[in-house]
Amino acid sequence: MIKDGMIVGERYEIVSKVGTGGMADVYKAKDHKLNRFVAMKVLKQEFREDTTFIKKFKTEAQSAAGLTHPNVVNVFDVGEDQGIHYIVMELVEGITLKEYISKKGKLSVKEATSIAIQVSMGLEAAHDHGVVHRDVKPQNIIISTDGKVKVTDFGIARAASSNTISSNVMGSVHYSSPEQVRGGYSDEKSDIYSLGITMYEMVTGVVPFEGDTTVSIAIKHLQEEMEPPSDYTPDLPFSLEQIIFKCTQKSVDRRYPNMEEVIADLKHSLIDPQGDFVKLSPLNTDGKTVVFQGEDIDAIKKNNVVREVPPLAAEEDHYDSSDDYGDDGFVEDDDEDMGGGLNRRLEKAMTIGGFIIGALIIGVLIVLIGNAAGLFSFGPSSTSGKKDVAKQTEVPEDGEMVETPDLVGKTEEEATKIVKELYLGLQYTEEETSDTYAKGLICSQEIEPGTKVQKYTTIKYKLSSGSAMLTLPDVVGGSQEEAERTLKDMGFTVSITKSYSYDHEIGTVMSMTPAAGTQSTSGEMVTLEVSMGNEYENAMVPDVIGMDETAAKAALAAFNVIVESSTSETTPQGQVMSQSIAEGVYAEKGSSITITVSTGSGSTPTASPEAGETGGADTTQAPESGDASGTWKCTQTLDTPATYTGGMVKMELVQEVDNSPVVDTIMEGKTIDFPYQLDITGEAGISEGTLYLYELIGSDYMELGHYPISFQKVD
């Protein structure tokens, strides 16, 4: 008995049991030789005495051990220790595809296609090594926690003897190919069929054939056509549905010849979902549905080609397969003659059925053609004969025909939506120049609009690469946004420059280079000059009377403030008595406003600045001539410049020192919030200066405005 902590094969320590299946239990084990965790599948006790089974079990496990591929659960070791027969495999943390489908109901097209491609690549690697899986189903496909898809239990199905009955048979028969059901030879194409059924389940959430017993399901694989997956998933791409149809053809000759072609078409379907590129071989007698008679069905039951078991709970073993199948994919009977006799009866039934169906078809055609030609009549009169035939055949006037839409002038996205609703495909061919349609628009289509075509027809189209020579439109006077969109839609590259203007509003295009009407090629550069508005825009003058001098200057930051002093019997010392421009008046930013500050009663007023001076400093605190001591500061507040767009700014201070301008950079390469409180230290003894404010536009600083400011001695 296997217990936790037990050492098997002198290197594998059993950690815990992770699952169980029909013929084996699966354990998580620690490989002490390579210091890694592995999955160990241990044969159940009841099968350890069957030497033939054990031999086949080991042979197939060793064959699978030769596979190394990212999409295969790799087999590391196979052995026996004290009567325990085991296979050591890669430990994959994750869930089976069956569990994943159960949780999600059905998968998206892209997800299902991606999983199918990875499964196909794993199967391709196995087929290249001569290993046929024979039991491809969602239960044997693991999706790891990191999203990788891996196929497990390669070759295990072939190891089962005729004495074993698995609880997985009911699950596996849903995915078995017709040749496996008939007990015939199975090869790579059997895996392709099972993959097709798995894809069907991924995109629909259901298997195509259901029944109360394994026998009823098996017979459906032989003689019933499955419902199109698009009946369950109406938005399923045409190309993916055709791939599923080709994989699940009952005749092996009509399926894909190998996994390489399956992978190629799956990848193609991602690029061209509605494309008609999947080609089915013409239907022949071998591909016709086989109709079984009662005695044939009884023979299937009697000879146990499929053993009937009750449906069981969902499979818990992530690593287990339908471990109990023979070379044909189903449990074999010991009496080989009985199986051979059944095959001969099936072949005979198929041949006779083919002759009967062929004769019936020929007879129906003769009757229809003869009645249409007036050779016989089955209606009340020969006049109504054709109408009666039309009714009997139940063919609509247009059948599955739809009218081709007009896609010219549409974007690819718009065209895709249109054709999808009509069940048509869309295929890009090439670009061509067009004087009529902008770059990126459909400029021509192969099938003329209004043409009646069958559903799922692919419409080929060409995209405009723009005109060889385009005429530049006149965008001057319009907004920058509209001008850019117009020019880019035509295929031009647009460059923007900005400058101040008294005549154009902010954001208006003032000029363009090359000029409107010029002939130019798609992709050429067009430069637009855009207005930044008036450099000196008007601002409303606030009421500063009653404020102290500092607060008044802050409120009038947009203007050049001149301070005068005067005695007052009514206004407290330090408060503004009057202002030269009344409140509510709009004045040009930067213009001068004089405020009169009270010195109280009996004080001698100081002289105001001489005419022509632009200083804004409080003359009551002006330094004596030649006084260059202490620290001189400006703490005025700047309002938001009208043309500021939120970019990085630069500030420069210009002051006259000894009749020469001195320029200091106060700030550069920073973003600030307006209103902005200045804190500038100027030249000692200089009470005025001019602040220049710039914004970084592109790679250059553009002036937003310049402001006269005043300084006061603070110590």
Determine the pLDDT at residue 359: 66
Beta strands in 258-369 (DSSP E): none
Strands 458-464 and 425-432: parallel
Closest to 245 in 3D by CA, of 213, 279, 217, 273:
279
Alpha-helical regions (H) of 66-152? 97-104, 109-128
Determine the pLDDT at residue 348: 54
Residue 366: pLDDT band (50, 70, 90) is: low
Instruction: Flag the least confident range among 183-192, 386-395, 600-609, 657-666.
Output: 386-395
Mean pLDDT value across the chain: 77
Please tell me the distance from the alpha carbon of residue 176 to that of residue 249, in angstroms, as a whole number. 12
Whether 123 shows a pLDDT value over 90: the answer reads yes
Whether 78 shows a pLDDT value over 70: the answer reads yes
Q: How far is CA 479 from the centre of its chain?
A: 35
562-604 pLDDT tens trace:
888 888 888 888 899 999 988 877 677 778 899 998 888 754 3
Determine the pLDDT at residue 342: 40
Whether 379 shows a pLDDT value over 60: the answer reads no
Please tell me the distance from the alpha carbon of residue 674 to that of residue 142, in angstroms, as a whole number. 60
Task: Read off the amino acid at residue 217.
Answer: I
- Stated as kind and residue range, the H or E segment containing 715 is none
Please tell me the distance from the alpha carbon of residue 523 to that of residue 267, in angstroms, as a whole number. 33
Q: CA dihedral in degrees (709, 713, 714, 715; nearest 10)?
A: 160
Whether 170 shows a pLDDT value over 60: the answer reads no
Determine the pLDDT at residue 350: 61
Whether 1 shows a pLDDT value over 80: the answer reads no
Domains and CATH numbers, the chain: 7-90 (3.30.200.20), 97-135+142-151+169-334 (1.10.510.10), 344-386 (no CATH), 401-464 (3.30.10.20), 470-531 (3.30.10.20), 538-713 (3.30.10.20)
Sheet bearing 7-8, strands edge to edge? 7-8, 12-20, 24-31, 36-43, 84-90, 75-81
- HSE value, Cβ hemisphere, 13 Å, CA-based, for 634: 31
- Stated as kind and residue range, the H or E segment containing 267 is helix 259-271
HEC secondary structure over 599-645: CCCCCCCCCCCCCCCCCCCCHHHCCCCCCCCCCEEECCEECCCCCCC
Residue 535: pLDDT band (50, 70, 90) is: low
Residue 532: pLDDT band (50, 70, 90) is: confident
Would you please indicate which residues are annotated as catalytic (active-site) residues? 135
Whether 546 shows a pLDDT value over 60: the answer reads yes
Determine the pLDDT at residue 572: 87
Whether 292 shows a pLDDT value over 60: the answer reads no
Mean pLDDT of 111-140: 92
Instruction: Flag the least confident range among 77-91, 339-353, 494-508.
Output: 339-353
Instruction: Flag the least confident range among 430-444, 522-536, 602-616.
Output: 602-616
Percent of the chain with pLDDT over 70: 75
Whether 487 shows a pLDDT value over 60: the answer reads yes
Determine the pLDDT at residue 475: 92
Whether 303 shows a pLDDT value over 50: the answer reads no
Determine the pLDDT at residue 59: 72
Whether 332 shows a pLDDT value over 60: the answer reads no
Structure tokens at 641: 């410049």
Please tell me the distance from the alpha carbon of residue 32 to that of residue 11, in angstroms, as a whole number. 5
Residue 121: pLDDT band (50, 70, 90) is: very high
Determine the pLDDT at residue 244: 97
Residue 310: pLDDT band (50, 70, 90) is: very low
14-60 pLDDT tens trace:
999 988 776 788 999 999 999 999 999 888 887 777 777 777 777 76
Determine the pLDDT at residue 467: 66
Determine the pLDDT at residue 583: 85
Please tell me the distance from the alpha carbon of residue 23 to that of residue 54, in angstroms, as a whole number. 12
